[in-house]
Amino acid sequence: MAVSIDDVRVVARLARLEFSEKQEELLTNELTAVLEYMATLDEVDTEGIAPMTHVRAVAQGVRDDHVKAGIGTDDALRNAPDTYADYFRVPKVLGG
């Protein structure tokens, strides 16, 4: 289960992170080690067992459709690095 340097670059791009070549190398080794550790689980025979995505076998955790006032514009914007009027302001984005 070796992670390649290209894998690291793909993941970095998806996460909008930028690394130096040295850092990329370091991460390649570290991520490989993490995945090798997790690969221990492959030794367990899971034939015929449904994947478990949630620890608690809960009944529906749902709520009724009632409105509770949110935190309001001023508080919503309080921690933002940049704002304009009632808006968050971020670097120009184009396309999707």
Write out the residues near another protein by the rule CB under 8 A: 10, 14-16, 53-54, 56, 58-73, 76-77, 82, 84-96
CB 83 within 8 A of CB 89: yes
Minimum distance, C-beta of residue 14 to another protein, in the bound complex (Å): 6
Compare residues 22 and 49 and give the one whose CB is closer to another protein: 49
Compare residues 14 and 22 and give the one whose CB is closer to another protein: 14
Closest Cα to residue 25, out of 4, 2, 48?
Answer: 4
Compare residues 22 and 92 and give the one whose CB is closer to another protein: 92
Q: How many CB atoms lie within 10 A of CB 5?
A: 12
Minimum distance, C-beta of residue 72 to another protein, in the bound complex (Å): 6
Closest Cα to residue 9, out of 96, 21, 1?
Answer: 21
Minimum distance, C-beta of residue 61 to another protein, in the bound complex (Å): 5
d(CA 68, CA 47): 46
